Chains A and B, each alone.
Chain A
Amino acid sequence: NAGVTQTPKFRVLKTGQSMTLLCAQDMNHEYMYWYRQDPGMGLRLIHYSVGEGTTAKGEVPDGYNVSRLKKQNFLLGLESAAPSQTSVYFCASSAWRESTGELFFGEGSRLTVL
């Protein structure tokens, strides 16, 4: 069972370069999320989506953009990467928000910006 799949798993960028992280889920979930995880800090929500064609800002949206053109896919873009965006990025999905809140996470994408 695939669940939530993220690509790429690892990426090294130079400052100013752009890239897109792809998240795909096969559980027909409505809600999808992008988090970043940094040492000594809790997971921080970047952007999220409550359904196909919708997106919303989370706690730390600056420097990132997202799109949810298809229900199963949630893309995270960095237009001009900065060293502060070096982090591990996790995509997650859930059936609905007002529930047990169980999130299903992808394996993570480790991004280094030089």
Chain B
Amino acid sequence: GQNIDQPTEMTATEGAIVQINCTYQTSGFNGLFWYQQHAGEAPTFLSYNVLDGLEEKGRFSSFLSRSKGYSYLLLKELQMKDSASYLCAVMDSNYQLIWGAGTKLIIKP
């Protein structure tokens, strides 16, 4: 079966750095995506990785290792507005997105 695993909840301090991990087992691989979802709102696209390595976009970076079936989302200089759920999703060989359950990130002052 296809599976995406990510921690259910994480807590971090404002101004700090946090790393949210995602491991996956899917039928084929056509890219890994991170989305941000604030409570009661729609998910919004954050990043896309299809090759191994680090993609940096401002305070957010996403890393992929296809051989390990592993990705992480790195958030720097945390702000209170970063409190949200972060969804990891993998596009399989049929170009279907398989979604993890999301990691709820709580930022404390």
For B8, the chain A residues whose CB sits under 8 A away are: 40
Tell me the nearest residue of chain B to A100, going by C-beta: B48
A103, CB-defined interface residue at 8 Å: yes
Main secondary structure of the interface of A (DSSP, over half): loop
A15, chain B: closest CB distance, angstroms: 26
Tell me the nearest residue of chain B to A102, going by C-beta: B45
Contact B101 A105 (CB under 8 A): no
For A105, give its contact among B33, B43, B96, B98 (CB under 8 Å). B43
Contact with B along A46-77 (1 / 0, CB 8 A): 00000000000010000000000000000000
Contact A42 B100 (CB under 8 A): yes
Q: Total A-B residue pairs with C-beta atoms closer than 8 Å? A: 52
Contact A98 B87 (CB under 8 A): no
Q: A42-B4, A45-B96 are in contact. Are A98 and B30 (CB under 8 A)?
A: yes
Bound-state CA distance A101–B34 (Å) is: 11
A97, CB-defined interface residue at 8 Å: yes
Contact A101 B31 (CB under 8 A): yes
For A42, give its contact among B40, B41, B44, B99 (CB under 8 Å). B99
Of B8, B40, B89, B99, which is in contact with the most chain A CB atoms at under 10 Å from its CB?
B99
A41, CB-defined interface residue at 8 Å: yes
Bound-state CA distance A58–B41 (Å) is: 23
A58, chain B: closest CB distance, angstroms: 8
Interface of A toward B, CB cutoff 8 Å:
40-45, 58, 90, 97-98, 100-108
